Structure 1
Amino acid sequence: MAFPYVVQQGDTWLRIAARYGIHASSLHMANPQIQEAPYLIAGQVIYIPYRPDHVYMIQEGDTFYEIARRFNVPIQILLNANPSVDPRSLKIAQSLVIPLTTSGEIVRTDAEYGPVQLMEDAERLCERYPFIRQYIIGYSVMGKPIIALRIGTGEREIHFNGAVHANEWITSPILMKYMEQYAKAYRSGTSWNGMDPQDCYNCNSLWVVPMVNPDGVELAQEGISPRHPYYRLLLQWNGGSFQFARWKANIRGVDLNDQFPAHWEEERERRGKKGPGPRDYSSEAPLTEPEAATLAEFTRAHNFDMVVSLHSQGEEIYWNYRDYEPSVSEEIARRFAQASGYRSVKLSGSDAGYKDWFIQEFRKPGFTIEVGQGRNPLPLQDFREIYQDVAGLLTEALRS
């Protein structure tokens, strides 16, 4: 048995499977006509296998709104799951399909994590933990907000960022889960990652930009349709392929981590890319892209004592840049390695990255962390193991 579902904008196989508490393989098997398609298309009708705990029988006095509230399901999600039901005319003993709801955790890690999920989770984190503050620090090419979250009141200012590269989007839920667990520990006053969260909160002001490249992340996860304003250009830049899962750049085909004014000309020559594409194109000048410019302006506006930029993959820690780094950086990297099991690497032959620019501009400790091991995008089934390694490293950053 299966029920029909109309695909909505932003839906993916994994997001739908997670919403209804089924395996993606079961969802594929119920839809053999499109199971090989890399992306779902809004307006498609697919079929979702029933589970017994999906179904609720309408009782006397029930309203659609009250049922949605009782099961903690957004109204639109409940409507989408029951296309044949008139919400204004419920009938006693009528069946409603109830999508799976989450436990007390806000940040879910069982499906692709995109800009919509980020904004929803950020709002819910700030509601549950009012001491987390959210700021819009800029906008992407497509006008999506680039947000920063702050926790802590200390004089020492630390910055973490993620999803600079589109196909490295797993770094966003890592940072958001870290914020959620930090906030939960601070509220409860319990020890967290071997540290007192109260002391950490009072000593540090942690600023997190979880998703620097929201347009690129959305492209890598959801692909494009003819309605996309960059449709023809993106297909051209992607060699005619509709598969964007490995896309690293922003929506204009510029690699954001080759955009910073730290020996930019040398990096551009080394890359040898003449025009936009999935990766490694530095553009015609530094900071032409609003996402990179936003991150640079945000950094200049703060007196950060340390920055950590999460990328994937390789399980490596890059801590130096052309001998501009302070002497303490290598020792901090050694502690990061001990906390995470990652390898500390003295890197050469790379320029124009955010970490490079920060070290050159401010002569303070800056780090690029290549999380996980494998091929981008890293599989979500590895999330727990990756997160455990990285959480210890991030906590060490707050101690250093």
Structure 2
Amino acid sequence: MNRIKKWLGNLGVIVALLVGLVGWILLPWQGVLALAVLAALWLSFTRSGRLALAATRIGIASLPDRWGASSVIVVGIAGVVGVLVAMLAMGAGFQKTLNQTGRDDTAIILRGGSQAETNSTIAREQVPLISSLAGIALDTDGRPLVSPELSQVVNMVTRADGTDANAQLRGVGDAGWAIRPQLEIVEGRRFEPGKRELVVGQGAQSQYVGLEVGKTIELANQDWTVVGRFASGDSHDSELWADAQTLSSTYQRTSYQSVTVRLKNAKALTAFKAAMAADPRLKLDVLSTKDYYSKQSEGLTKLIDILGKVIGTIMAIGAVFGALNTMYAAVAGRAREIATMRAIGFRGLPVVVAVMLETMLLALLGGLLGGLLAWLVFNNYSVSTLSGNFSQVMFKFNVSPELLWSGLKWALGIGLVGGLFPSLRAARLPVTEALRSA
């Protein structure tokens, strides 16, 4: 019976610890700050707190004598934080790139029920109907800013390893440039309508072979000349652009895949949607380009986030066991020291807090080291991945302050778990037994 009670008691402690750890990871910075202030007040203005600080100073003073064992905690937690932050930075970077692509004052029209341009078709006769709808902005000549577009996946050779990869070749209308004012020609010129000419994004040029300005590549058994390079700071950097009509004739397309329009302002989207819904000939879906590209990033971002946290959790479990072994060994090695403190008046709580603070300090060092390494190695590191339209998108890892803060909380959480049980053992250590065995 006593064994069952002890087992249930231990299970209750573990469950409470897991719940507390999850709560700690989810706690906003305001909550962490409040806990830190309360802990500082307790340590400064209570007798037990001052005793805990004194015991902590003794433990920290002995760290150089056991730095080899203590470094196990620092290095293990640094590895956890570094991998976790790097994984989450990949998802954050991909999401940031696609979020930057869209605008609230531009809209993309797709076939009803389509999730992406690749599975959408829009009949040519529908384009004039779309152009006449309310809410569309006009250019200086009074023409609606409407760009019927094609999205063709083409095979390119990567610079990194010479393997084949999918690239997105986008055919745009005359208004395509005005609709996306963030695009800037940084080398060469724009393509001319009716000619087999390409303008390539700077990301695509750095990713694929043969896209330097002036080079000729073969697409659909026809020669295309690269006449310019553009920079946009978003996912269009990964694309190749050509005249929509020329692309349509090359690939024998009889319809478009999407239509992108510039609206008078962000509020005009509501009127534009209403006008679209009122025309029975237009069974089409409308989204702001900001919402469209955000949705394109959701699936992969969630997958990377889940994978990062799963891998981080597995590594964190290993780091916890490393911390437990190290701190148990430290408690055993300091048995006489702890017993002496107990004998001269240090009660159980100050001893528990002292061991916990020592472990949390090592965890803090590990978290800072791991975050620093992740930032130095991965921040703005360029990679490419498959996006929702099955073509490669160039993006950069984004090691943001929020991710570094999250990694630091994971580190402190590992230190909390790794130091709790050794600290309880230290507090329960019989004084006479410890003095005799030391």
Give the TM interval when normalised to the shorter protein: under 0.3
- Structure with more contact order per residue of length (Cα contacts < 8 Å, sep ≥ 6): 2
Structure-2-length-normalised TM-score: 0.18
Q: Which has the larger radius of gyration?
A: 2
Structure (1/2) with the larger helix percentage: 2
Structure-1-length-normalised TM-score: 0.20
